[in-house]
Structure 1
């Protein structure tokens, strides 16, 4: 990759575009806040405290945007970017399904697909840019925790797990 000022400016603009995408995805957390329904569910002892989620997501969205901006300037990165787009779409979908609709089983399907697409994006990023792939490792780790949390909450609250439809 050439390291000219113009190239760096373009990468920064791409970073801002990807960050705006992440902010849009993250906004579903404000629109569909966990609320009383989630607070009243039985949760495993290892559930992170509430404040961790905003710190984690802020950090992860910055890393994801940086990774995507690095990959976007590399020729032949179409598949990697398509996988990134898929995972951010699924990321956006999970919160309204789980917290908004209270559909834990459907949420489990969504977050499972999210995990697969995030892991695939990470592997594709490694093929294009090693640092970009490494920047997605924490995200895949966090989605792994969220997936396990979704499974555990569903198991601890089987009466809540039945989708109303």
Structure 2
């Protein structure tokens, strides 16, 4: 494995993760109605750290392959959309906007997973938990939207 390539992918993940520090949930989020199955706050940094490491490792495996352009483009798209969700949802406090970002993020992560499977089974499997987690995040975002119609109604 080329550790310098892994470090670059991990840095991209770190940049996406930094949005969580720049736009923490805060009082606005704590005051929202959330479903009973909302994961505990402590789980989010553990889950994202694990997913980012797995994603960076998977991308490193694919980066050295021939004909990897679509796979790498999908990976770049998903990390950009990943970085977008937190500022939209927590920073701008846009529940619907966060849902739109999550739909596109899910599609990009799913596309990344499929394109990784086409090149390397392990890289594809490393993306499966990410698809699952973004699915849960989407369900959570949708539930928050439905449980807070007054909050969502005030959004453009």
TM-score (norm 2): 0.98
The question of 1:111 aligning with 2:73 is answered: no
Q: Which residue of 2 aligns with 1:124?
A: 115
Q: Which residue of 1 aligns with 2:38?
A: 47
Query: Could you tell me which of 22, 25, 36 is aligned with 2:13?
Result: 22
Number of equivalent positions: 156
Looking at structure 1, the residues matched to 124 and 56 of structure 2 have their Cα atoms a distance apart, in angstroms, of 12
Q: CA RMSD in A?
A: 0.8
Structure with larger Rg: 1
Q: Which residue of 1 aligns with 2:132?
A: 141
List runs of 5+ in structure 1 lacking aligned partners: 1-7
**Cα distance change of structure 1 residues 163 and 136 upon mapping to structure 2, 3 Å threshold:** farther
**Cα distance change of structure 1 residues 103 and 93 upon mapping to structure 2, 3 Å threshold:** same
C-alpha distance after superposition, 1:2-27 (max 9, x if no partner): xxxxxx3xx21111000000000000
Looking at structure 1, the residues matched to 21 and 85 of structure 2 have their Cα atoms a distance apart, in angstroms, of 13
Q: Which residue of 2 aligns with 1:151?
A: 142
Looking at structure 2, the residues matched to 20 and 49 of structure 1 have their Cα atoms a distance apart, in angstroms, of 26
The alpha-carbon deviation at position 162 of structure 1 amounts to: 2.9
Looking at structure 2, the residues matched to 103 and 134 of structure 1 have their Cα atoms a distance apart, in angstroms, of 32
Looking at structure 2, the residues matched to 151 and 163 of structure 1 have their Cα atoms a distance apart, in angstroms, of 16
Q: Which residue of 2 aligns with 1:5?
A: none
Q: Which residue of 1 aligns with 2:52?
A: 61
User: Aligned with 2:38: secondary structure?
Assistant: coil
C-alpha distance after superposition, 1:104-133 (max 9, x if no partner): 111111100000110011000000111000
C-alpha distance after superposition, 1:15-66 (max 9, x if no partner): 1000000000000000000000000100000000000000000000000000
Looking at structure 2, the residues matched to 135 and 50 of structure 1 have their Cα atoms a distance apart, in angstroms, of 24
- Residue pair 1:25, 1:91 contacting (<8 A) in 2 also: yes
